[in-house]
Amino acid sequence: MQNESSFDISHDQARVIAAGLHTLSLVDGADAGGQERALIEEFLRDAGHPDLIAVIGNDMFDPATAYQVLGTRFLRRVFLEAAAILVRSDGRVTDAEREALDWLSRGFGVDGGADALLASTAAQQF
């Protein structure tokens, strides 16, 4: 059973999350100082899959595949919350980032879209 205090992310799940986060990091065309990439790398290390750092950017992100691979509402929410934290990591959320996050969140069934995700993760960091 997965809960907020203890859960495992499989290699495939980590890979699809990293692909999604990387794709999102490119939406506004800026990653000042490499902060967004550093967050993706930190996620992969913390998830126990540091081998995936070498392939960040090699995978095309497919939301339908991500939905299936993540498998549970809980893991999909983990991905979306990580995405919200990522887009805020440089201190601002561009219109392009907000639109992409909104599209993802609605596709994954999160009520309130990007605004709800950004509000729920306002105090969180990787």
Residue-wise pLDDT for 12-32, tens only, equals: 999 999 999 999 988 877 666
CB atoms within 10 A of CB 1: 5
Residue 99 half-sphere exposure toward CB, CA atoms < 13 A: 6
Residue-wise pLDDT for 46-66, tens only, equals: 999 999 999 998 999 999 999
Please answer whether residues 44 and 14 qualify as being in contact, where contact means their C-beta atoms are separated by less than 8 angstroms: yes
Domain ranges of the chain: 11-120
Please answer whether residues 121 and 88 qualify as being in contact, where contact means their C-beta atoms are separated by less than 8 angstroms: yes
- Full-model pTM: 0.85
Residue-wise pLDDT for 74-124, tens only, equals: 999 889 989 988 888 877 888 999 999 988 988 888 777 777 778 777 666
